[in-house]
């Protein structure tokens, strides 16, 4: 099928919930993808910060292939070697002791909310304005963006929102019923918003003073994306709970709640569960993916190449007044424009570069961590041409 045939079938049979671009992808390798017509693109979106180890990494692909021939799924009524090996690896690379496996970031956040309420016996969760935590009813309520919530009222009770970066507002919002504070260490969907210096550490200290839990949503920032394995390491914060997904299994649907030993005891048998969470295939994919990140030193590469990418983008800023700011950490970069960025995304795609627009006017760049300097230079050149085209 060609692109138009695929688009026509989508219009006929698929629920129309996505604002898709007119592009049908066929396959990828590293930081490059191809459409069904054979055109190639530098992928600077990585499936929304998912493909950290690149497309079709041979170790991940081989692990999935081998596991699929042995066992794809079994119930969590039984033990599997793949699950316990992945759990052990996650505790080694994170600041946590225990793992609960889910299938997505929204599920991980949903479970973290349940765990916080169960452990503390309190019901209130404080989150930030402009945040994004998922699309289930609870996580969309936790999300601090009205546009995602408006069509789905009435929403669950028990959530408060405060300005991101305002420690005084957070302190004032805490009540006797507050169970936890849930924050993204960098707001991704909200426009690649970097917290003020010292803010996250102040939040941690406040949570300790008030005896409430601190949950970091690292669904987008985890597994090397920001130049550290987890973004919490940038500020030296040790949250009680961290939620992860996206890049965890190299593209296979996988999520997890990571918690400290003391907090993890809040869940008892029967309190929470998942049919597919932690299935052998997903665990094999995730273990291989994390091993690739470690073996190929992709956390360091994310920091190094991310710094280079930002420096090249700041050169564009000096040339194009339409660019208001370049910001980010590692390979999570935002280019804020003075106009909406939809046209720039379209022009870049036509010229062979895949990028994303978020928060209306912020170009979100989240390439695979394996992207080369040559590919970054080519991406910047394409953006330069695209900026000229829309000016």
Q: Whole-angstrom Cα distance, residue 136 to residue 149?
A: 10
Q: Whole-angstrom Cα distance, residue 272 to residue 83?
A: 17
Active site residue 217: yes
The active-site residue out of 122, 246, 301, 303 is: 246
Active site residue 100: no
Q: Which residues contact 70 (CB under 8 A, 6 or more apart)?
A: 280
Active site residue 246: yes
Beta strand extents in 165-254 (DSSP E only): 178-183, 213-217, 241-244
Q: How far is CA 84 from CA 64, 87, 378, in A?
A: 17, 5, 42
Kindly tell me the burial class for residue 213, based on how many C-beta atoms sit within 10 Å of its own C-beta (0-12, 13-18, 19 or more): buried
Tokens (6 digits) for 141: 């309520």
**Closest Cα to residue 327, out of 311, 339, 349?**
311
**Closest Cα to residue 168, out of 212, 125, 144, 203?**
203
The active-site residue out of 217, 230, 301, 309 is: 217
C-alpha 317, offset from chain centre: 26
Task: Give 282-301 as a DSSP string.
Answer: HHHHHHHHHHHHHHTTHHHH
The active-site residue out of 45, 132, 230, 267 is: 132
Beta strand extents in the chain (DSSP E only): 25-29, 32-35, 40-43, 98-102, 124-128, 159-162, 178-183, 213-217, 241-244, 255-259, 323-329, 332-337, 353-354, 356-358, 362-365
Tokens (6 digits) for 289: 């993916």
Q: Whole-angstrom Cα distance, residue 234 to residue 196?
A: 12
- Looking up tokens 């130049």, which residue turns up? 227
Let me know: does 115 contact 262? Beta carbons within 8 Å: no
Q: Whole-angstrom Cα distance, residue 55 to residue 58?
A: 9
Active site residues: 132, 217, 246
């Amino acid at each position: 099928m060609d692109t138009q045939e695929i688009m026509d079938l989508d219009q006929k049979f698929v629920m129309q919930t996505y604002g898709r671009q007119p592009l049908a992808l066929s396959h990828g390798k590293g930081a490059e993808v191809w459409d069904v017509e054979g055109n190639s693109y530098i992928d600077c979106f990585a499936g929304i910060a998912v493909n950290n180890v690149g497309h079709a990494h041979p170790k991940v692909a081989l692990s999935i292939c081998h596991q699929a021939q042995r066992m794809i799924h079994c119930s969590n009524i039984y033990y599997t070697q793949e699950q316990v090996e992945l759990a052990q690896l996650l505790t080694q690379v994170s600041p946590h002791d225990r793992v609960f496996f889910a299938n997505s970031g929204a599920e991980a956040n949903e479970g973290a909310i349940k765990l916080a309420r169960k452990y503390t016996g309190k019901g209130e969760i404080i989150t930030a304005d402009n945040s994004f935590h998922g699309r289930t009813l609870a996580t969309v309520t936790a999300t601090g963006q009205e546009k995602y919530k408006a069509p789905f009222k009435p929403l669950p009770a028990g959530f408060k929102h405060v300005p991101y970066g305002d420690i005084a507002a957070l302190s004032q919002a805490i009540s006797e019923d507050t169970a936890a504070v849930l924050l993204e260490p960098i707001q991704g969907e909200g426009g690649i918003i970097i917290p003020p210096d010292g803010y996250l550490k102040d939040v941690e200290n406040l949570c300790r003073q008030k005896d409430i839990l601190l949950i970091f949503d690292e669904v987008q920032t985890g597994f090397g994306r920001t130049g550290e394995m987890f973004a919490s390491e940038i500020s030296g914060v040790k949250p009680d709970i961290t939620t992860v997904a996206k890049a965890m299994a190299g593209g296979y649907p996988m999520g997890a709640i990571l918690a400290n030993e003391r907090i993890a005891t809040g869940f008892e048998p029967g309190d929470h569960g998942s049919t597919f969470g932690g299935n052998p295939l997903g665990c094999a994919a995730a273990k291989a993916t994390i091993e690739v990140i470690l073996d190929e030193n992709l956390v360091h590469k994310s920091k190094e190449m991310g710094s280079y990418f930002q420096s090249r983008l700041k050169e564009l800023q000096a040339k194009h007044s339409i660019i208001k700011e370049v910001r980010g950490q590692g390979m999570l970069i935002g280019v804020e424009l003075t106009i909406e960025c939809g046209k720039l995304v379209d022009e870049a795609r036509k010229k062979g570069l895949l990028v994303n627009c978020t928060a209306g006017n912020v170009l979100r760049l989240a390439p695979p961590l394996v992207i080369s300097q040559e590919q970054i230079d080519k991406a910047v050149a394409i953006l330069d041409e695209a900026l000229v085209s829309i000016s």
